[in-house]
Structure 1
Amino acid sequence: MRLAGLRIAFVSVFAGTVSYCVDHAALEKAVRTQLSLSAEQALQRESLPFREIKDLEKNFLDEFHRIDSLPDARQSLAHDFDAIFYRHPDGSYTQRPGLFEGGPLPEGRRFPNMSATYAPDVPPNDDVKARFALSYVLSYHYGSAMKGRFFNFYGVVPEKGFPIYQAADIAKVFKYEGPDALRLETYEFYSRGFGQTHSETFFTSLYWDASNAAWMTTIATPDAPDASGKHRIMACVDLLLDGLMQRTARPVLPGAHSTIFAADNDGTLIFDGNYADAITHSEGRASIASLRLAAYRPLLDASRRLAPGAVALVDGGGEIVAVGRIPETPWVLAVRYPKSLMKPAILTNIAIVFTVALLTLLVEIVILRSILQKQMAEPLRRLMLATELVGHAGVTFNADELPTQSQDEIGQLARDFAGMAERVRAAQDALEQKVATRTSELEQLNMRLLKVSMTDEMTGVANRRAFDQALVSGLTRVGRDRGLLMLAMIDVDWFKHYNDRYGHPAGDACLRSVAAILTANVRRDHDLVARYGGEEFAVLAQIAGSDDALAIGQALCAAMEQASIEHEHSPLGHVTLSIGMAVAEADDPTPPEELLLQADRALYRAKREGRNLVVMADRRRGRAAQTAP
């Protein structure tokens, strides 16, 4: 009896040790794989809005300098300054009353949600007026195009003035007198942006926005400085970080928690649930160094060796940590998984091993008291061997070798053991299947996120970002295939009156109908219909000749008229379209910005000459030719 007890105790300890080591290694490997994969996917997902913001700011600066380089445009913009802005007695300027609320300028242009302020200490000359007016117009163009995705958009001139597209009117908030006077030079985005001698995008320090009850950062991109090191303009977006922080607080891997910190010398904390109070009390300046977080120091060191988007696993003693640089940002994401979460599964397997060992001891006691000891010794030996193999990953045994056919206690034990082993194997298979399923779901989610980022949410057609990419690739294809590329800029006539008469929900439904009609009337599947912004759409199509462009425009106007969407405030009684068209030829390369400008000018003429017209830009004669739909 003592020998049997010692033998069973030895087997139990040995099998439990082997099971613990094997299960721990296998489970930790699976956790590391899943942690690394989920961290990589989180890095790519979180980089999308920052990549979009950088692209928007670059496009803003490119368009600004393109227009700023045109003498005629600068002269017109200087006149726009006097039409748009109002000089106050202290010498400062803001937009004229009513513009922010959507009131029109004398010539009919509107800039709802656009406000501006210009400091009184630098009287504006014609150059400043042209740049400030151009920044106002482009800030409205880009801000309204990305409305609903980001908090605001604004272009800043170094003479301490900035127009901004957002829900609040800064002209009613910022003053230049009294204790709360605006000192723009004290703002980090202004001093850093115009103080640097390059044009790299930067993120400001974390700061708290009381009106939105959320942490924010400013993403700013100055233009390239001139020979003296001075800048002419800077594009900025204030980004609310509450969404990023909420997603960071809930990692994909159950039980894990995350930290975001800056990849600077001190590891400034952007988000950490354990140190939220410290971040708040320090006004966003708390860091790994200032809080003396020794356990975080290896994460900061590891992040400096990583390329954006890459992930490294760091063993933090009681945690496994996936560390990665978020692309397009100066920030690091660390997903922390406590090793203690693996213990219940491991202890369950050990409990099974010890249970089997105890059953084996009971069987052997019966055998020792039986006259059939010799007949039972060999089956029991095979059963114990199978018990030792259960804990080994990748090692299986043949259930046919167990005495499962015997009708005595040993046979019952063998059958129970075989069933238990099968359940253990099934549990392992189920865990692997679950990991594979979760991985597939994450990949599908990434594909859906990419599709959403290229589609206009309301109308279902391509959005501005997809259009910009398609325009560049279309012009490249024209140069390669020796064909023609048609660009049609389309505006819904008197749409403001439509919204005033029928309401914004009906206006949204009207835009969806227009998008459906445009999509149904393009000629080929690879032609593109995109929502350019507001009630403005764009169509890109490969055509054989210029006459085809006019035919397409006329077909679109005709389809719109045939739809007969009621519009009481239109002189025609129904919704119509104004279309400006431009064509790019392989023999006459055209930059995307120039083709857009040609089509936009043609659209402006179609609207100016009565609407419900198709106007084709004539590049050779520098004017527009028109035709009725």
Structure 2
Amino acid sequence: MVQESHEVISRKHSLTTRALRLAIFRIGLVSLSAGAISYYVNSTSIEREVTGQLLLSTEQSLQREALPFREIKDLQQNFLNEFKEILSRPGMQARLVNDFQQIFYRHEDGSYTQRPQLFEGQPLADGRRFAEMSATYAPDIAPNDDTKARFALSYILSHKYGSSTKGRLFNFYGVVPEKGFPIYQDADIAKVFTYSGPEALKLETYEFFERGFGTPGNDTLFTRMYWDFSNNAWMTTIATPDVADASGKHRILACVDVLLDELMKRTAKPAMHGAYSTLFIANDEGTLIYHPGVMEQVKSSEGKASIQSLKMAQYYPLLEAVPALAPGQARIVQTQDDIVAIGLIADTPWALAVHYPRKLMTPAVLDNLAIVVILGLLTLLVEIFILRSILQKQVAAPLFRLIQAARLLGISKERLRAQQLPTQSSDEIGELARAFATMAERVQDAHEHLELKVQGRTAELEKANRQLYELSNTDGLTGIANRRYFDEVLHSEWRRSLRAGTVLSLMLIDVDYFKKYNDHYGHQAGDDCLRRVAQALKTHALRAGDRVARYGGEEFVLITTTTGIDKALEHAQAICQATQDMALPHEMSPFGRVTVSIGLAVMAFIKEGTADELLKQADQALYSAKARGRNQVVLADSVVRKIV
């Protein structure tokens, strides 16, 4: 027995000695090889990771920065399309010339500006307001009717698009080639520009005017960046001319001045720590818009400084890469000092380059090298103390199975199987595993029972909520929507109509002589009558977006989106006729049957007015229908407010 123990000890000593010798050998081998290969491996992997992050963050920046410029181009194109469409309408020029006479007045020097107090919000005689709109027109070109019409229309549309983008764009203005422009912005230009003296306005010298009207094309152009002293900020002008006529002449130019400060601030802070950005025009010179180290030269050169003019040789590879760039996509350019991701901002002529200095990777490479060496040494040293198989077979493996079972207990719905736990062991771990198995079975039983109860209660609650919602929005008598639901839908449909520019109509419908019907036939018959009328209205809710509701008593309301006033009137008359065609007897009515009176109000896309005003117009129209003898449709007096 003693001999056997000694042999076991000898074997253990022999195994320990051999394991220690192997561990020492591995430690030495790892230490030597780690120093030889880790620098290369770490530097390559870090550079690959930096490159991937740089590409991703740069493309995200390119896409983010393109959004406002894409919006500006779309707005300008919409402005030009609407300008062309309105101007082509029959008789529109005379109306616009009349608008010109109302909006503008001529100064002694021959120039035109908007009339006093219009900028401050004073309405015209017809009630239209053009707050924050100002204008100036060159005195050396006397306007004819065509010029007046285009200038007035530019004024009206500039107010429409400028006010709709307030808070997002700095201004919006339309320029006529006769050297005049109206503009929507906080400052009144009529009080700033003059046509005499050293500071006289010479619109033809402005880059956007010269380039916009100097080419027969209608592509959007960006001016060279310039310093605006009134705003103390860098700016650029984005301009889109209309399609030129056969002689190459344009009639209007849509413009927006863009403040570049926010773009520069975002450019100055790339997503990757330690990186910096360069923003420049994608031309042969690489005209700079932003570079953290040369902004003084950019400002002193009035925005003309470029990569070529400043002889920034380290950035010449960026200029060489520009012709191959695709908008919104970044590519990597390797320079001696930096890893650079460069791409074009879509819908702009600008290139964005994000530079990551290579020297920033050196600490990370050394840190990774130290971590690899230290972890390797620690791992090998730990091996010396856990070589015995008992730790692996009788402790580590059973505990690992037990840990897995504990994790599965919280995340898996399947029951634990016996082979998943070390329950066959006769030691303390086996006892723990058997106790755990019993506990797991109880927990899983309780969990399943609780899940069933929660599912049942959730289904009941969802059903009750649906019923409650339907009850709260449904009229109990007629089964259609009630007044509460109508009030919500009216305002939401109003806002949707404003956004979409569609025609919204509202019918207020009253059952004629209903009190007499109730008195003669009784309230039960009156209720049946209201239900019949409600069903007839539902039948005439022609589109998916139409809404019919009981407004109160014998009054109903129908909201529709139609293509025009005539269609809305035809729709209302059809409802009036359909009610009469039901041939529901009404001896107390002069018509001998149940009829309805309808007040119809229609509003097109406007900048002023409210949903409540639409309802008020319908109510007044209904009152007129009753006063005129009932059983008819009356269209509200003020049915459409046009933009011009």
Return the TM-score normalized by structure 2: 0.61
Instruction: Provide the residue aligned with 1:185 in structure 2.
Output: 204
Corresponding position: 1:583 with 2:560: no
Gapped regions of structure 1 (runs ≥ 5):
361-381, 385-398, 408-515, 563-578, 588-597, 616-623
- Separation (CA, whole Å) in 1 of partners of 2:637 and 2:318: 65
Contact 2:176 2:253 in 1 (8 A): yes
Instruction: Provide the residue aligned with 2:384 in structure 1.
Output: 403
Contact 2:76 2:255 in 1 (8 A): yes
Instruction: Provide the residue aligned with 2:192 in structure 1.
Output: 173
Q: 1:546 to 1:206 in 2, by over 3 A?
A: farther
Q: Deviations along 1:353-399, whole A, 9 cap, x unmatched?
A: 56689x79xxxxxxxxxxxxxxxxxxxxx949xxxxxxxxxxxxxx8
Corresponding position: 1:275 with 2:294: yes
Aligned match for 1:240, one of 241, 259, 276: 259
Contact 2:497 2:605 in 1 (8 A): no
Contact 1:215 1:242 in 2 (8 A): yes
- Separation (CA, whole Å) in 2 of partners of 1:606 and 1:24: 65
- Separation (CA, whole Å) in 1 of partners of 2:337 and 2:544: 70
Q: Deviations along 1:254-298, whole A, 9 cap, x unmatched?
A: 111111100011000011111111111111111011001111111
Aligned match for 2:617, one of 610, 613, 625: 613
Contact 1:44 1:327 in 2 (8 A): yes
- Separation (CA, whole Å) in 1 of partners of 2:223 and 2:256: 11
Contact 1:60 1:235 in 2 (8 A): yes
Q: 1:554 to 1:296 in 2, by over 3 A?
A: same
Instruction: Provide the residue aligned with 1:324 in structure 2.
Output: 343
Mapping 1:118-267, distance limit 5 Å: 118-267=137-286
Instruction: Provide the residue aligned with 2:58 in structure 1.
Output: 39
Instruction: Provide the residue aligned with 2:11 in structure 1.
Output: none
Q: Indicate the RMSD between aligned Cα atoms, in angstroms.
A: 4.2
Instruction: Provide the residue aligned with 1:468 in structure 2.
Output: none
* Matched residue type, 1:583: T
C-alpha displacement of 1:11: 6.3
Contact 1:580 1:602 in 2 (8 A): no
Mapping 1:287-302, distance limit 5 Å: 287-302=306-321
Aligned match for 2:112, one of 93, 96, 108: 93
Instruction: Provide the residue aligned with 2:604 in structure 1.
Output: 600
Contact 1:155 1:236 in 2 (8 A): yes
Q: 1:528 to 1:290 in 2, by over 3 A?
A: farther
- Separation (CA, whole Å) in 2 of partners of 1:111 and 1:611: 26
- Separation (CA, whole Å) in 2 of partners of 1:194 and 1:180: 23
Q: Deviations along 1:321-359, whole A, 9 cap, x unmatched?
A: 0000000000000011112222112112333456689x7
Contact 1:554 1:614 in 2 (8 A): no
Contact 1:606 1:612 in 2 (8 A): no
Instruction: Provide the residue aligned with 1:68 in structure 2.
Output: 87
Structure 1 outlier segments of 4+, above 2 Å: 5-14, 349-357, 402-407, 516-520, 527-533, 536-541, 543-556, 579-585, 598-607, 609-615, 624-629
C-alpha displacement of 1:520: 3.7
* Matched residue type, 1:204: T
C-alpha displacement of 1:405: 2.4
* Matched residue type, 2:200: A
C-alpha displacement of 1:139: 0.3
Instruction: Provide the residue aligned with 2:423 in structure 1.
Output: none
C-alpha displacement of 1:611: 7.7
C-alpha displacement of 1:530: 3.5
SS of residue in 2 equivalent to 1:336: strand
Contact 1:529 1:539 in 2 (8 A): no
Contact 2:503 2:562 in 1 (8 A): no
Contact 2:545 2:560 in 1 (8 A): no
C-alpha displacement of 1:16: 1.3
- Separation (CA, whole Å) in 2 of partners of 1:216 and 1:327: 19
SS of residue in 1 equivalent to 2:354: strand
Q: Deviations along 1:408-429, whole A, 9 cap, x unmatched?
A: xxxxxxxxxxxxxxxxxxxxxx
C-alpha displacement of 1:111: 0.4
- Separation (CA, whole Å) in 2 of partners of 1:58 and 1:180: 33
Bigger radius of gyration among the two: 2
- Separation (CA, whole Å) in 2 of partners of 1:20 and 1:517: 70
C-alpha displacement of 1:71: 2.9
- Separation (CA, whole Å) in 1 of partners of 2:104 and 2:126: 15
- Separation (CA, whole Å) in 1 of partners of 2:560 and 2:218: 34
Q: 1:610 to 1:321 in 2, by over 3 A?
A: closer
Q: 1:529 to 1:90 in 2, by over 3 A?
A: closer
Q: 1:210 to 1:351 in 2, by over 3 A?
A: same
C-alpha displacement of 1:197: 1.0
- Separation (CA, whole Å) in 2 of partners of 1:153 and 1:340: 46
What is the total number of aligned residue pairs between the two structures? 439
Instruction: Provide the residue aligned with 1:30 in structure 2.
Output: 49
Corresponding position: 1:521 with 2:489: yes
SS of residue in 2 equivalent to 1:521: helix
C-alpha displacement of 1:317: 1.6
C-alpha displacement of 1:27: 1.2
* Matched residue type, 1:600: A
Instruction: Provide the residue aligned with 1:344 in structure 2.
Output: 363
- Separation (CA, whole Å) in 2 of partners of 1:522 and 1:326: 42
- Separation (CA, whole Å) in 1 of partners of 2:544 and 2:72: 35
SS of residue in 1 equivalent to 2:105: strand
Q: Deviations along 1:84-131, whole A, 9 cap, x unmatched?
A: 001001111000011001111122211000000000111001000000
Contact 2:502 2:561 in 1 (8 A): no
Q: 1:237 to 1:601 in 2, by over 3 A?
A: closer
Contact 2:173 2:181 in 1 (8 A): yes
C-alpha displacement of 1:199: 0.3
SS of residue in 1 equivalent to 2:604: helix
- Separation (CA, whole Å) in 2 of partners of 1:19 and 1:599: 74
C-alpha displacement of 1:187: 0.4
Q: 1:182 to 1:355 in 2, by over 3 A?
A: same
- Separation (CA, whole Å) in 2 of partners of 1:315 and 1:243: 28
Contact 1:64 1:138 in 2 (8 A): yes
* Matched residue type, 1:244: L
Instruction: Provide the residue aligned with 1:415 in structure 2.
Output: none
Gapped regions of structure 2 (runs ≥ 5):
1-23, 389-483, 506-536, 568-601, 620-633, 640-644
Q: 1:27 to 1:64 in 2, by over 3 A?
A: same
* Matched residue type, 2:111: S
C-alpha displacement of 1:531: 7.9
* Matched residue type, 1:403: I
Mapping 1:544-563, distance limit 5 Å: none
Instruction: Provide the residue aligned with 1:83 in structure 2.
Output: 102
Return the TM-score normalized by structure 1: 0.62
Q: 1:316 to 1:606 in 2, by over 3 A?
A: closer
* Matched residue type, 1:97: P
Contact 1:529 1:540 in 2 (8 A): no
C-alpha displacement of 1:582: 3.3
Contact 2:503 2:603 in 1 (8 A): no
